[in-house]
């Protein structure tokens, strides 16, 4: 199969042999994609000139219906998508559901938001401000959709959720998008967009897809365009350092590397229900998607006096995980997506092992029963212990994008917070504690370095959404190493695709603007 791109309102094939997409269990090629020779300037212009005006002419309620229609198309084809995720990403049924249903759920959530905004086409912030002694002279802040195109560059690990969580916000804001999925797992994105283009009734130019290399994509952007990027920090730096991106002041949102942590509070008894929740959460985050999640737990902070007991309990938790070919319904963890990702994970583990000791996994010749190690891309669940985290560097700087985490002991709440901050900026942290003082103090102390903090006690233990689950109601992103970006967060997500304009004037005239807009309270 050769994947095509949907650009300038038509399906197109890139030139040359292209790049192979493989089954990470068998090593067999499942598809080929090439972006070479495609006219990206034409594609972006078509989105700006055709898709943009069409979307801006629609009300929020009409855009919401489009999102709901897209979600309905995806639901209709869900089983086929799960099979593609198995073949191209090595996903178990649970992994595929996490990705596919995450995309569908986010579309539905933003469709619901759009319906509440009604017939308006712009947003206005709830408050107005008096500017002088004259009470009639005031200012409001108006949000209008940018008049460019949104370029969505997505990582290999979430070809569904990564595509649709960005698309949902962009389309609701009234901005057309061009999605560039990572080539290695682009088959699922391709099939989804193909179905949506055929059945969802999106305006011409609202949706574009580029399968294969982007080449000169950054060179073709113009003022008013937006880039939303998910991937490695090195690639993000390369793209946003592009001379054209800098000269045109392109709005550029980045979600990059992240050394997310989970902290066990000193109050948690080892025989408590809360400790059981902690073990299951760490085990789940280590193995869902084979640890290939930007929100996965990489550092596990535990009270120093309980380090040995926690290490033993987590080792037992990981021993329950059956790793292998996801075609086996009993398997709970599949392979990494490619040989290059497998090699990068081994390289990263070597750096971590230089500062700690491996207590689970870490064997390079690992292969599940019935699998050929030379062809497959498996990596065993691996747990390390770093006894001296205050002097270590790699554990706070190297993210192994796979099923690898490090136990880190702390002696006090202050030391736990200091170690949390050493990650240099992360997407999410979680703390398991029934001590409100410890949990609140820890969350406040590490807040400046984290985009989200999840606090779990027994009261919410069964209902909480999970450390690694990105809820569309909450902002997603993080400072520093995590990219400095922010997306989702309900209506907050529309800010990336909107120009916020302070409008000053007579209160009576401003009232007309307010009347024609939907109000947003932030």
Distance of alpha carbon 149 from alpha carbon 173, whole angstroms: 12
Are 51 and 204 contacting, i.e. CB atoms less than 8 angstroms apart?
yes
Confidence (pLDDT) at 127: 87
Confidence (pLDDT) at 375: 83
CATH number of 39-256+485-520: 3.40.605.10
Active-site position among 255, 281, 285, 487: 255
Confidence (pLDDT) at 358: 96
Report which DSSP code applies to 202.
Answer: P
Are 20 and 34 contacting, i.e. CB atoms less than 8 angstroms apart?
no
List where CATH 3.40.605.10 sits in the chain.
39-256+485-520
Confidence (pLDDT) at 450: 96
CA angle 503-505-508, nearest 5°?
Answer: 115
List where CATH 3.40.309.10 sits in the chain.
261-482
Within 8 A by CB and 6+ apart from 168, the residues are 67, 106, 107, 109, 110, 111, 472
pLDDT by 10-residue block (mean), the chain, 522 residues: 96 93 94 94 98 97 98 97 96 95 98 96 92 91 96 96 98 98 97 97 97 91 97 93 96 94 97 96 95 96 97 94 92 94 96 95 87 87 96 94 97 96 95 96 96 96 93 95 95 96 93 90 74
Active-site position among 294, 317, 355, 386: 294
CATH superfamily of domain region 261-482: Aldehyde Dehydrogenase; Chain A, domain 2 (3.40.309.10)
Quick count: other Cβ atoms within 10 Å of Cβ 195?
17
Confidence (pLDDT) at 204: 97
- The strand pairing partners of 519, in sequence order, are 124
Confidence (pLDDT) at 215: 84
Are 260 and 295 contacting, i.e. CB atoms less than 8 angstroms apart?
yes
Q: Which of 487, 411, 494, 415 is nearest to 452 (CA)?
A: 487
Tell the residue number behind the tokens 């294969």, with chain if given: 212
Tell the residue number behind the tokens 């730096």, with chain if given: 237
Please confirm, yes or no, whether 294 is among the known catalytic residues: yes
Please confirm, yes or no, whether 255 is among the known catalytic residues: yes
Are 467 and 443 contacting, i.e. CB atoms less than 8 angstroms apart?
no
């Amino acid at each position: 199969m050769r994947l095509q791109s949907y650009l300038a309102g038509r399906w197109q094939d890139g030139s040359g042999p292209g790049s192979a997409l493989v089954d990470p269990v068998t090593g067999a090629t499942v598809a080929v994609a090439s972006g070479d020779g495609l006219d990206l300037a034409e594609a972006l212009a078509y989105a700006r000139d055709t898709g943009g005006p069409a979307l801006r002419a629609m009300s929020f309620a009409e855009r919401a219906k489009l999102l709901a229609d897209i979600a309905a198309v995806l639901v209709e084809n869900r089983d086929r998508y799960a099979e593609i995720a198995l073949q191209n990403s090595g996903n178990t049924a649970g992994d595929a559901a996490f990705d596919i249903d995450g995309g569908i759920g986010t579309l539905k959530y933003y469709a619901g938001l759009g319906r509440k905004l009604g017939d308006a086409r712009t947003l206005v912030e709830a408050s107005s401000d008096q500017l002088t002694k004259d009470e009639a002279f005031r200012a409001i802040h108006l949000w209008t959709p940018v008049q460019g195109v949104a370029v969505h560059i997505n990582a290999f690990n979430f070809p569904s959720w990564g595509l649709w969580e960005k698309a949902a916000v962009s389309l609701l804001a009234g901005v057309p998008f061009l999605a560039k999925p990572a080539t290695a797992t682009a088959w699922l994105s391709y099939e989804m967009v193909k179905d949506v283009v055929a059945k969802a009734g999106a305006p011409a130019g609202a949706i574009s897809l580029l399968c294969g290399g982007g080449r000169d994509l950054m060179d073709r952007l113009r003022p008013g365009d937006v880039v939303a990027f998910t991937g490695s920090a090195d690639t993000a730096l390369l793209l946003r350092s592009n001379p054209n991106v800098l000269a045109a002041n392109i709005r550029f949102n980045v979600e990059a590397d992240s050394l997310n942590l989970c902290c066990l509070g000193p109050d948690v008894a080892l025989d408590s229900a809360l400790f059981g929740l902690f073990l299951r959460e760490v085990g789940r985050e280590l193995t869902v998607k084979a640890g290939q999640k930007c929100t996965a737990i990489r550092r596990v902070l535990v009270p120093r006096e309980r380090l040995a007991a926690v290490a033993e309990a987590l080792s037992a938790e990981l021993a329950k995980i059956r790793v292998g070919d996801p075609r086996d319904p009993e398997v709970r963890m599949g392979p990494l997506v490619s040989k290059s990702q497998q090699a990068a994970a081994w390289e990263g583990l070597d750096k971590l092992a230089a500062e700690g000791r491996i207590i689970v996994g870490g064997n390079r010749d690992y292969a599940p029963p019935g699998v050929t190690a030379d062809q497959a891309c498996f990596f065993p669940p691996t747990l390390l212990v770093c006894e001296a985290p205050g002097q270590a560097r790699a554990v706070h700087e190297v993210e192994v994008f796979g099923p690898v985490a490090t136990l880190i002991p702390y002696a006090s709440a202050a030391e736990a917070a200091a170690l949390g901050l050493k990650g240099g900026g992360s997407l999410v942290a979680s703390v398991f504690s029934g001590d409100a003082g410890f949990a609140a103090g820890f969350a406040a102390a590490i807040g400046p370095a984290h985009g989200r903090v999840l606090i779990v006690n027994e009261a919410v233990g069964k209902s909480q959404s999970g450390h690694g689950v990105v809820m569309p109601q909450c902002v997603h992103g993080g400072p520093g190493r995590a990219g400095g970006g922010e997306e989702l967060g309900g209506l907050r997500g529309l800010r990336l695709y909107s120009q916020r304009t302070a409008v000053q004037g007579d209160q009576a005239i401003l009232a007309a603007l307010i009347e024609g807009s939907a109000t947003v309270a932030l």
